[in-house]
Amino acid sequence: MVVLYDDQIIEREQARIDPEDRAYQFGDGVYEVIRVYYGQPFYMKEHLARLQRSATEIRMNLPYPLEQLEQRLLQLLQRSGLQEGNLYIQISRGTAPRNHAFPSNARPLTLAYTQPSPRPVKELSEGVSAITTEDIRWLRCDIKSLNLLGAVLAKQKAVDHGSKEAILVRDGIITEGSSTNIFIVKDGVLWTHPANHLILHGITRQITLQIADELQIPVKKQPFSKEELFTADECFLTSTTMEICPIIQIDGKPVKSGTPGPITRQLQQAFEKQIALLQSR
């Protein structure tokens, strides 16, 4: 397997992580996951812009310009031969003697590699189950930080209950999933949490909102409660890896009839059309 290490593409075995790398000790860094279809990156510029924003928000300079990173990632993609899967990128604040405060002269370290992964076709067609759990994460969920313990614990709770996702509840309000954004449909209106500090501003969430606009589906980017979740007509999650995926059961109770709803299906179809466009490039 080849990896991007700083600005070089090398064999995985040659990549050396220092014991004092701040990503390893503090989770001090940011990351992105970009989906690849037909060997092409999907919404790469949007992901790289978010990576830049995350870095700025944690007061970290990228080690080299974003355009150079984009070129290196495209080279990595070519070298890897990946057709369908994920492109993972992380940037650590770098290596320095352990001390919480920022080091004065560490160079941030970029690491990226590809993972083959098929589209979750069964989940997309049949829908998945979810649980609800308390949102115990910090108050800057808009930063795609390497610190993921809150998400890890929530996801494991879902897995322990035989579910695919944990829907997070803060003060009675649904924020998002442990690694996804959450939408409900109520009386023909699409609801999702506003893009503030309590959620990650998902790229797939943004694509879904654009599609809804094109299809003239009314949208409310407003908080909704756990009670409203349980009385929704439809529910779905969005993410780079799960696309637009119906949620058909929450905490063991069916969402409406317990099958994917018509608006979810409409959005899924439009999303698939965008993927198909990459095939002809």
Per CB under 6 A, the list member of 181, 192, 264, 268 interacting with ligand PMP is 181
Q: How many CB atoms lie within 10 A of CB 159?
A: 13
Using rule CB under 6 A, residue 133 touches ligand PMP: no
- Measured from the CB of residue 103, what is the shortest distance to ligand PMP in angstroms? 27
- Tell me the per-residue interface mask from 185 to 204 with ligand PMP, x by CB under 6 A, - otherwise: ---------------x-xxx
Burial (CB < 10 A; 0-12, 13-18, 19+), residue 229, is: buried
Residues numbered 138-167 forming contacts with ligand PMP, rule: CB under 6 A? 151
Strand partners, 235: 184
Per CB under 6 A, the list member of 132, 240, 264, 268 interacting with ligand PMP is 240
Residues numbered 212-231 forming contacts with ligand PMP, rule: CB under 6 A? none
Is-contact 206 200, C-beta < 8 A? no
Token pair recorded at residue 171: 């003060």
Q: Which CB atom, from 185 or from 209, has the smaller least distance to ligand PMP?
A: 209
Residues numbered 20-59 forming contacts with ligand PMP, rule: CB under 6 A? 33
**To 5 degrees, how large is the angle CA 61–CA 65–CA 66?**
95
Is-contact 169 134, C-beta < 8 A? yes
CA distance 67 to 99: 32
CA distance 163 to 188: 27
Q: Spot the catalytic one: 45, 144, 186, 226.
A: 144
Using rule CB under 6 A, residue 129 touches ligand PMP: no
Residue type for 41, please?
P
- Measured from the CB of residue 127, what is the shortest distance to ligand PMP in angstroms? 18
How many residues contact ligand PMP, by CB under 6 A?
Answer: 14
* Active-site residue, 144 included: yes
Is-contact 130 158, C-beta < 8 A? yes
Using rule CB under 6 A, residue 179 touches ligand PMP: yes
Q: Using DSSP, how many helices (H) and how many strands (E) does the chain show?
A: 8, 15
- Measured from the CB of residue 146, what is the shortest distance to ligand PMP in angstroms? 11
Q: Which residues are known to be catalytic?
A: 144
Binding site for ligand PMP (CB under 6 A): 33, 151, 176, 179-181, 200, 202-205, 238-240
